[in-house]
Amino acid sequence: MEKQSRVFVAGGTGLVGSAIVKNLLQKGYTDIVANYHSRKPNTTTSVEWVQLDLTDPVAVAEFFGTQKPEYVFLAAAKVGGIVANNTYRADFIYQNLQIQNNVIHQSYLNGVKKLMFLGSTCIYPKKCPQPMKEEYLLTGELEYTNEPYAIAKIAGIKMCESYNLQYGTNYIAVMPTNLYGPNDNFDLEKSHVLPALIRKIHLGKALEENDWDTIRIDLNNLPIEGISGEVSKEEVLAILAKYGIENHPSSDSNNVQIEIWGSGKPMREFLWSEDMADACVFLMEHRDFKETYLPDQTEIRNTHINIGTGQDISIKDLAYLIKEIVSFRGNFSFNTDKPDGTMKKLTDPSKLHALGWRHKVELENGIRQIYNWYKG
């Protein structure tokens, strides 16, 4: 990519997309266009923001025909945690397939020089050998709760491979591990485990300190099921209790208890979103599809690239790490009636390392940064 190249970031307001936009700006790219779905970002940057529904094939075709991007980061997706994935199964497979099909096909039709497709490590089998190597794709059954989302992402990988092999395009697919960072989703109905724990523990700390100003500000910024900070204390306590943040008066001063779904034993890997963005821009600048597989391969497959740290932590230890950073004194309860999901999901980032990139931000430092960002 040249600094003056026209670059389209699909999903520019999301966790990864916003980090990619920030990275591109920091590196001096001057012609960036990004889409938003409903609300234009409040920013003074030189990015051109376009309202665009990526699930609409007509709108996407018109966008590519008029905007003519040379490079595309496909960071847009419908995402959510274990509850959302299992509840809105049809939405997750339909919307993600629509986004991918529209953007990848229009990139081909309009002569895009290079595209990067962002997936997820949930593409790997439920009982995948650990750590997960790219070659383990499609070797076993998927985790049931996120199967529709995973199948959509696998289709995206195969679409990139197939267009490259048939049409000679230069599309790269990357599979990030669990991401966290600025612009993360802290909606307790739909968020992933790390931002959900940060918010719940933040609210738990405010509750144990009887800090109702903090609680009301938090709910006004992001209501829970429509409950804002303007309602009565009783209504606030009820919605907090529904999401596992409860006062349990006792002789113990640490009387706030936070419920965490599952046993706390599953191991998870986390990557700072701005590290992920840096990896994406590095690969787009310096690597091509032909470098993602061995030159003597008779069958070209598994060309995607894992992006991760190669380090993991249990959900229980993650909760206690956040507890320490937030200075919460209360207790945790682990609800073993709720599903754990896959017990271990650790990427093998050897391929990424061989291509010349390693992560920089370690988990404790990243959590401190994202907590400070969340508090504003």
Which residues are the active-site residues?
A: 149
Nearest CA to 226 out of 189, 265, 277 is that of 189
Three-state DSSP string of 265-333: CCEECEEEHHHHHHHHHHHHHHCCHHHHCCCCCCCCCCCCEEECCCCCEEHHHHHHHHHHHHCCCCEEE
Order of strands, sheet of 344-345, starting from the edge strand that comes earlier in the sequence? 313-314, 267-268, 344-345
Nearest CA to 194 out of 77, 83, 321, 279 is that of 321
Q: CA angle at residue 174 from 59 to 17, to 5 degrees?
A: 50
C-alpha distances out from residue 355 to 74, 191, 296, 351, Å = 20, 32, 18, 6
C-alpha distances out from residue 296 to 83, 292, 299, 301, Å = 43, 12, 9, 12
Six token digits for residue 49: 């923001």
Asked if 1 contacts 284 with a C-beta cutoff of 8 angstroms, the reply is yes
